[in-house]
């Protein structure tokens, strides 16, 4: 199939954001006097389902009451989310070259992430500028996030090509389910955070050995 549109996840797919996310979470817990000191490995298990779920998973990991601490953690973490997004974050190797080649071939590029929408747009602008992606979609606070099909459909509905021409590239099981629920092809990058993707048995999923392998697919 000729892929004309590629939607990318952000954290764990285009960007290695764990260092900033980990700093923000540990700093938040420390300032609130809560036991944190989360490891990189722990942080990886908190990601994929948005900021609220990240907080719930972190609280559960330290056996802390969601009812008692969620609001406090959410309020302070939101501050750090907004002001510290690019201190330690890096673009994964091969991503810039891959995006440049795809654009050169006329492929339309998009981002769909469960990061808060305003944060997602700021992060993408900082690392990639304003001319790489047609649309950046983040969590708008309306309860619609991946893998809800309405999330990807917010992008897909404006594409005047068949679903078969659209691919979603991610790193997590949530990304796989997002693509499946939206009816589009799924490709999984090799450098992601979620090891559960290794258990996916769906033969229709493309497991990339390296990011640049996207270019060798049937593109445009």
Active site residues: 9
Q: Distance (Å, rounded) from C-alpha 99 to C-alpha 6?
A: 10
DSSP designation for 137: E
The DSSP bridge pattern shows strands 15-16 and 90-91 to be antiparallel
Per-residue b/e over 12-29, b at no fewer than 16 CB within 10 Å?
Answer: bbbbbbbebbbebbbebb
Nearest Cα residue to 11 out of 39, 19, 180: 19
Longest dimension (CA), the chain: 54
Q: Distance (Å, rounded) from C-alpha 123 to C-alpha 207?
A: 26
Task: With residue 8 as reference, give the H or E element that holds it.
Answer: strand 5-8
Q: Distance (Å, rounded) from C-alpha 91 to C-alpha 84?
A: 16
Q: Distance (Å, rounded) from C-alpha 3 to C-alpha 206?
A: 13
The DSSP bridge pattern shows strands 90-91 and 135-139 to be unpaired
Cβ neighbours of 37 (radius 10 Å)? 9
Contact 54, 76 (CB under 8 A): no
């Amino acid at each position: 199939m000729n892929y004309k549109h590629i939607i990318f996840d952000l954290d764990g797919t285009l960007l290695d954001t764990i260092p900033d996310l980990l700093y923000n979470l540990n700093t938040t817990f420390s300032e609130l006097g809560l036991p944190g000191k989360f490891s990189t490995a722990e942080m990886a298990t908190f990601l994929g389902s948005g900021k609220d779920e990240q907080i719930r998973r972190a609280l559960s990991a330290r056996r802390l009451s969601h009812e008692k601490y969620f609001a406090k953690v959410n309020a302070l973490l939101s501050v750090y989310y907004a002001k510290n997004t690019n201190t330690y974050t890096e673009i994964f190797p091969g991503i810039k070259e891959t995006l440049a080649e795809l654009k050169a071939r006329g492929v339309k590029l998009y981002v769909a992430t469960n990061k808060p929408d305003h944060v997602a747009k700021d992060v993408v602008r900082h690392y990639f500028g304003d001319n790489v992606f047609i649309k950046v979609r983040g969590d708008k606070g309306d309860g619609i996030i991946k893998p809800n099909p309405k999330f990807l459909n917010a992008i897909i509905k404006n594409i005047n090509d068949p679903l078969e021409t659209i691919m979603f590239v991610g790193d997590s099981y949530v990304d796989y389910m997002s693509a499946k629920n939206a009816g589009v092809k799924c490709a999984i990058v090799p450098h992601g955070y979620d090891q559960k993707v290794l258990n996916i048995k769906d033969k229709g999923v493309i497991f990339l050995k390296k990011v640049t392998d996207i270019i060798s697919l049937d593109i445009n």
